Structure 1
Amino acid sequence: MSHVPDTLAQATPPIGALLGGLLDPDSLARAVDDAVQWTSEAFGARAVRLVAADADGPSLLHRLGQDGFGRGATAGLASDALPKQLLARWRAEPSGSAIRCETTDPVDGSPATLLLVPLRTADRARYAMVVQVPGVAGFDAAALGQLDAMGLLISVALARAFAIEQDRQRAQLDRLLTTVSTDLIRFHAGGMEAAIREAMGSVAQFVGAAHAHAFVTGQLDVHWHMSGASPEPGDELGAGVPDGWLARLADGPFLAAGDGTAADALVLPLRADGEVIGRVVLVAGPRARWDGALALTLRQLGGMISQVVTSERLGRQLAASEARYRSVVEQVRDVIVRIDGTGKIVFVNRAWTELTGLTIEETLTRTPFDSIHPDDHAVAAAHLASVVAGEDRRERGVRFVAKDGSHRWMEIRGRAMFDAAGGFDGLSGVLHDVTERQRAQDRAQQALDDAVAARDEAQRTSRRQAQFLSRMSHELRTPLNAILGFAQLLEYSSLDEEGLDAVRLIRQGGHHLRELIDDVMDISRVQSGEFALSPEAVDVAEVWSECVGLLAANAAAMEVDVADLTRDGAAVQVDRRRFKQIMLNVLSNAIKYNKQGGQVHIDVRPAAAAAGDRTVVAISDTGVGVRSDQLGALFAPFERLGAELTQIEGTGVGLALTKTLVEAMGGTITVASEPQIGTTMSIALPPAAVGAP
């Protein structure tokens, strides 16, 4: 591979927002498109394309991206045009890493290399990103790893986009069923079959059916065909159906899976007075992917057609028409309302009572605005006026006041009604309850506001803490300096040996306390953002040599052998004074927690050989080590992991300060340890810039 960015940092900005919670397919599609563009540019690809192993894949991909997220000459990258050996390996390892295959360019026949990256959605690989680069290219582990990581990010985006798309389709289907039920109840005398055909066709077309058939012996025989489909729907749509279907109809709607010669079919029973009188059968089109949940959702369609057929049996009298109207719409979860030309509510279904607690009788004595929150009157009035004028049919969200005083958010969609002479005859409308969605949005906004407030309060607390520690440091240092000064004078006095030992203890304790104050103040300054750093190119070997010299006496006392750093030229971009402070802290711990006669080693791995773009300095000892269950507390302030019970001196602040300083300089520090074997501290820091002083 000639060139791949050293880090995914260049790749993540286009799609990093995925982790921030994008909630609409358009934004996710743009993020995926940016990711494909990055892949094309980063790998010098001649073509990049997302492909699908399933028949429904292309429709979903093209619904999210008009060209299927393609770059370059993608015709040769279609799933049915890929080399057979590549497809075979994909099927054998559907969730594996990137697959490489040598091929020829379909445009000019020149040598080319294909990389297929499986994309994982819904716990199985149904899609893949195919990258074609010119020539016979090799790819190292880092390049393939970055390509796999990009595939994982695209997989997250596609999975989220497809889930949102499915949720949107389910919501659209619910609204479609509501609209269809409203249209069904208004069919004119003698127009029952046309109304059922239109309603059934609308639903069938939406779910991707090729054919649909509603059948009731001696009364109903309605067919619908998808545009371009064969007019012969198959035996399963005729008067005769498989024997097994008739037995299952009594149990409710079901999905009859195809066997290779026949397509999947959704079968809905039609009932009257509790008895099965007929059926609705929808046969899947070539791209339809159905499951049992869809059959249950479409139970409503069978119920609506059943009600229409039953009402037709009872006649076309006005009373029967009203009963037919109400029995159908009462099955709808949304509120259906009818307002006459004077603005009076003349009909509302039972869903209204379930949502607001107001009875139908109470509602029919009110005007529409009596139930709308006063703050939303203007929005509702503007919507009604635009609907009457035929200018706007968009959904608007308004709050309705329930009987108990609570509020329900509903999306309203209205349509103007006209009589036979063309005069205005009122409005019909559908109210869709979106209270939970609105509450979720309000909770999300409140959580964001709370997080911002908590962050601001934490920053204020940090500043107050820094100010307090600064004042306390000054107050402590003044008497402490006096104590240390007098202790030093007493050491030169004519005290006996016991007195001198006591004075030395006073001086050692004072120095220990002063170091503790300095470390705590450093941590506070870094956390409050009041810590100034002066990054420069610093030679690691030079600083290590200085630290070894400063701690030579400590090492000699423990008979610890500290290795020299033989690798020259490794440099990091850091504040020299603070880097030396870090190295002293780590080396001091490696010596004092070592075994008598132990060893300390140092290894430096420059950025070119280390992970990512960091130079890693690893300091290892042969000391007592740390248990795995204690590693999480190793960098906690004032935590000595039981060493406070030994004679080893320490404050428990050194490693906490070390971690704070490393992170302040853009680095990380990790630890690996085995009890009685030793410990390795690995410090990853930015490498010195080329040409840096």
Structure 2
Amino acid sequence: LPPLGDVVRADLWLGPRAYEIDIAAREVGLVLVYHVILRDVTERKEEAERLDQLARDLAIARDQAQAADRAKSAFLASMSHELRTPLNAILGYSELVAEQIELPEAQADLARVHAAGLHLLRLVDDVLDLARVESGVVTLSHEPLDALELLHEVVDAVQLRAAAAGKSLEVQCEVVAFRSNRQRCTQILTNLVVNAVKYAVPGRVVIGARPGELWVEDEGPGLDEEDERRIFEPFTRLQDGGEGVGLGLSVARKLARALGGDLVVSRSSLGGARFTLELSANAILADATLLERAS
């Protein structure tokens, strides 16, 4: 029992019910009176226990997810090596043998082997990139970039393919410099230009830059609203019979978001589709002086 003037609180279980008891003592004349307050706290106790169990379950789930992420990262590193090594050997030896054989038929066969190997390597790269971005294991450092130089680098890489398809590539640059990841920006823009060359009707393909964004647009037929809604979903192909499995644009958008921006599609003023790589808010450098000072 409590001393005079104090209050004692205690927990009490009576069968399945939980109670909280407050006991206080005071003097009434010559009599010592005890006041007892009994509160049923069964629901509160049960809710607290439920929340404690939920916290324990969440901690277990978190640990399991972290373990799965570590296993996924290890798997990706292993698969990157295991898949690329034989593919690079196939590509290298097909080129070497092609240089030593003069028979036209054999040259044609080796060219097909080499093309198939390149296609498979690009597919492997897309799958691994998608898995890396989704698991958060892609490290994207940012650096000052010369916008015009980057655009011409993309154009140079696709120029021969564009010419063979009857497309002309045009560069429009309204910004001197910006800050982002060179490898991933080049990857995204190259994918967009290759798609425009591959699927658009003969005509112009324009690649450009202005403050806050990079873009690729063409004079093709464009996309309807349904295609625009699903174009970035993994394994989406709008045309049958072409190469690829429909991962390129999905990977490109995920990379764009990992860079702090986004990749969106709209109708081009040229009549075709316009894909815009929206840069992060801190990506723009005002002029060449800033580019030189930041380098």
The 1-side partners of 2:77 and 2:197 are apart by 32
Aligned-partner Cα distance in 1 for 2:228–2:48: 40
Which residue is 1:229 aligned to? none
Q: Is the alpha carbon distance of 1:485 and 1:672 closer, same or farther for their aligned partners in structure 2, counting shifts above 3 Å? A: closer
1:472 maps to 2:65: no
1:617 aligns with: 214
Aligned partner of residue 172 in structure 2, secondary structure: coil
Letter in 2 for 1:682: L
CA contact (8 A) 2:76 2:132 kept: no
2:17 touches 2:40 (CA, 8 Å); kept in 1?
no
2:231 and 2:64 map into 1 onto residues whose CA distance is 28
The residue that corresponds to 2:5 in the other structure is 390
| TM-score, normalization by structure 2 | 0.77
Question: How far is the alpha carbon of 1:543 from its aligned partner?
Answer: 0.5
Residue 575 of structure 1 aligns with which residue? Answer: 181
Structure 2 residue runs of 5 or longer lacking an equivalent are: none
CA separation of 1:553 and 1:391: change in aligned 2, threshold 3 A = same
Work out the CA distance in 2 between the residues paired with 1:624 and 1:663.
27
Structure 2 residue matching 1:537: 3-state secondary structure: strand
* In 1, Cα distance between equivalents of 2:131 and 2:35: 67
Q: Following the alignment from structure 1 to structure 2, what is the Cα–Cα distance between the partners of residues 677 and 446?
A: 56
TM-superposition CA deviations, 1:125-166 (whole Å, max 9, x none)? xxxxxxxxxxxxxxxxxxxxxxxxxxxxxxxxxxxxxxxxxx
- Counterparts of 1:518 and 1:581 in 2: how far apart (Å)? 11
Within-5 A mapping of 1:199-348: none
One-letter amino acid of the structure 1 residue matched with residue 180 of structure 2: V
Q: 1:687 to 1:476 in 2, by over 3 A?
A: closer
Q: Aligned-pair distance for 1:537?
A: 0.8
Whether the 8 Å contact between 2:169 and 2:205 is mirrored in structure 1 is yes
Are residue 551 (structure 1) and residue 158 (structure 2) matched?
yes
Does residue 564 of the first structure (1) align with residue 179 of the second (2)? no
Q: TM-score, normalised by structure 1?
A: 0.36
What is the distance in 1 between the residues matched to 2:48 and 2:216? Answer: 50
Question: What pairs up with 1:104-253 in 2 under 5 angstroms?
Answer: none
Measured against aligned partners, the alpha-carbon deviations of 1:551-609 in whole angstroms (never above 9, x if no partner) come to 1123223333433123142x2222222322222122222332322325435352x2xxx
Go from structure 1 to structure 2 and tell me whether the alpha carbon gap of 1:461 and 1:556 turns closer, same or farther (over 3 Å shift).
same
How many residue pairs match? The answer is 285
1:559 partner SS: coil
Which residue matches 2:273? 678
Spell out, residue by residue over 1:295-323, the C-alpha distance to the aligned partner (whole angstroms, 9 max, x if none): xxxxxxxxxxxxxxxxxxxxxxxxxxxxx
After TM superposition, the structure 1 = structure 2 runs for residues 411-426 of structure 1, keeping only pairs within 5 Å, are 411-416=20-25, 421-426=29-34
- 2:283 paired residue number: 687
Shift, 1:411, TM fit: 4.5
2:142 matched to which residue of 1? 535
Q: Which residue of 1 aligns with 2:236?
A: 640
Question: Structure 1: which amino acid aligns with 2:32?
Answer: F
CA–CA distance in structure 1, aligned partners of residues 36 and 273 of structure 2: 79
1:530, distance to aligned residue in structure 2 (A): 4.8
Structure 1 unaligned regions, length at least 5: 1-383, 607-614
Structure of higher CA gyration radius: 1
Distance 1:656 1:447, change over 3 A: farther
Letter in 2 for 1:662: A
Q: What is the percentage of aligned positions where both structures have the same residue? A: 30
Aligned to 2:13: 400
Secondary structure of 2:86 counterpart: helix
Question: Does the Cα contact within 8 Å between 2:206 and 2:218 map onto a contact in 1?
Answer: yes
Report the RMSD for the aligned CA atoms in angstroms: 3.4
Q: Is the partner of 2:171 in helix, strand or coil?
A: coil
Q: Can you list the C-alpha shifts for 1:66-122, whole angstroms capped at 9, x where unaligned? A: xxxxxxxxxxxxxxxxxxxxxxxxxxxxxxxxxxxxxxxxxxxxxxxxxxxxxxxxx
Q: Cα distance, 1:627 vs. partner? A: 4.8
Structure with bigger RCO (C-alpha 8 Å, 6+ apart): 2
SS of the residue aligned with 2:161?
A: helix
Q: Residue 115 of structure 1 aligns with which residue?
A: none
User: Is the aligned partner of 1:504 residue 2:111?
Assistant: yes
Specify the alignment match of 1:586 in structure 2. Answer: 192
The CA distance in 2 between the partners of 1:399 and 1:562, in whole Å, is 82
**Matching residue within 196, 199, 206 for 1:600:** 206
